[in-house]
Chain A
């Protein structure tokens, strides 16, 4: 029938590309499987008698051997958790379950979902969100803030160096072949001017709290980190779920993130372009992080473009608008390096724009994050980050790494081989098909076989001790139970470096699991960074914002 025209055809190619570009979960973790995943140790559980009790938990709350965010090992409530603990104790199971349902409903309504495309039908799923916030006291946060600022500054200097004169490689601080041989190293970026040396404009580092209560960096994320929309959505939800507790706690606001992001992006544009046009580049509606792309574009008030909206003409990038072509100055791209320009990178990609990279080289457009930043969050380079910080800044790293042994170093190799039963050993190579060895869980025979493999190709392996993630209270099946959490703060870097006073706390919702990835049963919760040391109200509600 003539009048039933239609416009929605599955754009097969886009969709395939979108799915392909996307071996990642909804928080955008690309193919890098979390190192902590394999590092479970058999959790030693406390007995019921040791456990602190919460009124509504039938079984007592058993934190296990990991550091617990709410309780001290003696079962005392940590001071900054007092108000929340009080509220948790007074609200009944019914009321909590009701609030949790309201929360989930509001996520579904807002469309904070990812779409699962099935053969028969498509469904909308929300990423599980826990209603209890995770609370971080001011003093701990100031250390995190300083540590992350230091780390990102050093990594940006490192990127500027390896894509410039390569002084650090000349000085032998980081092995040359490790950097230049990494698949994420982009030769095309060599000697390219990047304003403020800010290669990674948006960084999401994954931190974990170790058993001793100290935060350590598990992974840097300098490519296309995501999850920030969940940080904002969780905050919005937490304010509605625990309004009184929130007001009294004195929580530092995160709501400025979109305008700080916009000013960071604008600071990357050339000086002579007044009123630079910023856009967000998304792989499209089939990408699982699409909600976030649209959300950031909407809150920044800039267009959300796809590759097919872009036209490159004489090394200028334009977008097709209803009133003709319009020039673009800054592209906040949420598309991986490989897919942004079929002429320079992957030829079969239709998610980017042909000629985009040349326009970038010509200085007519800025791509944020810069292509090639992935080399600085590479697994093997990670081990050198403390050295990198020392080299460029002359300082010791404020936030420690997880101890990592590089089998390429003969002495470290000997140590690893001697103590194989204590380490998790992992292939660095991009293929990763060699698998890994979880030392404490492997048999002697497996360890021997793996030792041979390591000896045959030591450069391809790193080893780390098994680590624990801290636990925080979560509402699971109507009970309050401890679940393992990590912490992903977001750092912006342009003219200035800014750490958002908040983070995405990711939760492993399965009991005992250390896997926080949303693709494998992970969820998230809000993170409250307190303005005051003791977390108590200063009488001015949440107005106590530190500069």
Chain B
């Protein structure tokens, strides 16, 4: 049993945490790719900016300025600092529900990125800065995992994390494989490696496919891999698992979100990369994004903003 408002805040806490991590990684990879003055660097910048919804031509604004804005611009609601501020705001609302260890990780990180010297620290070593932010977010997740009860509160937070992850990875793949690319077919080695880095997938990928960096393999890995925690299939399986557990707690007839999640999970379980190549990755990725939006709404209707009449005691 937990308050509906609290569940909502925990869910969003998870989403903002995941978003902050993803944005930090995009910025970091983007900055790194442009160190080599090649066309593939510009391609990586384009992928990152398109994935956050600001494609442009990749050259009008310098990649450092773009990365700095993506990380530190408080005016932009989709920057790392804004995501962390919102994550903390949500955490503060449910301060009684999360452990002190978990809270302190987030609060520390928040104080770091909102510090007056943050811009200076970023300029002085953006790579270190972003590395630390990502590491701190991993510490947060680790603290949550090892100190919080894996009950309802934790499940709502994990649900937020995986919902956000499924959508962010889908979006990243859409940019690379589904939309008509400005930079032509994505087959450049550096750009492909950058893509894997953006999904934090390079090392696990190499373990499975060795150093043969092929678009087909990347797609297969990031969409269908059963064990890689950032594949879409893995994320949807987690979503389904958490929702089923919560549905059991509610008991009975109200089978909303977990049915949708189960359907999406099955869709990914029984598709394969040949099918994707035949029809293009677009339709499946669009399905994932749309289904996630429906699951999101169903979560609200079932757990948070349910109509009172249905729940009043007889």
Contact = CB atoms under 8 A, between A and B. Distances in A.
Interface residues of B, number: 50
A324 B311 contact: yes
Contact of A303 (B2, B19, B78, B89): B2
Contact of B1 (A3, A304, A308, A322): A322
B52 to A, nearest CB: 8
A8 B90 contact: yes
Interface string A295-330: 101100001111011010100100111111110000
B96 A313 contact: no
B93 interface: yes
Given A322-B152, A325-B312, A109 B108 contact: yes
Interface residues of A, number: 38
Interface in A77-112: 108-111
B250 interface: yes
A111 B7 contact: no
B92 A309 contact: no
B168 interface: yes
B296 A109 contact: no
B308 interface: yes
Contacts of A291: 95
B77 to A, nearest CB: 6
A2 interface: yes
Contact of B74 (A8, A121, A306): A121
Contacts of B53: 1, 4
Majority SS of interface residues in chain B? Answer: helix
B49 to A, nearest CB: 12
Nearest to A109: B104
B1 A306 contact: no
A294 B96 contact: yes
Interface centre among A3, A298, A323 (most CB of B within 10 A): A3
Interface in A258-315: 285, 290-291, 294-295, 297-298, 303-306, 308-309, 311, 313
A320 B93 contact: no
A3 B167 contact: yes
A431 interface: no
Contacts of B249: 322-323
A285 B312 CA distance: 28
Interface string A338-354: 00000000000000000
A322 B4 contact: yes
Interface in B89-110: 89-90, 92-93, 95-97, 100, 103-104, 107-108
B90 A111 contact: no
Given A7-B86, A313-B313, 16 more contacts: A4-B53, A8-B12, A109-B111, A110-B107, A124-B111, A285-B89, A285-B92, A294-B92, A294-B95, A297-B96, A298-B95, A303-B2, A304-B95, A304-B96, A311-B308, A316-B313
In the A-B complex, the 3 residue pairs with the smallest Cβ-Cβ separation, listed nearest first, are A1-B53, A294-B95, A298-B96
Interface of B: 1-9, 12, 19, 52-53, 74, 77-78, 86, 89-90, 92-93, 95-97, 100, 103-104, 107-108, 111, 114, 152, 156, 167-168, 171, 246, 249-251, 289, 293, 296, 303-304, 306, 308, 311-313
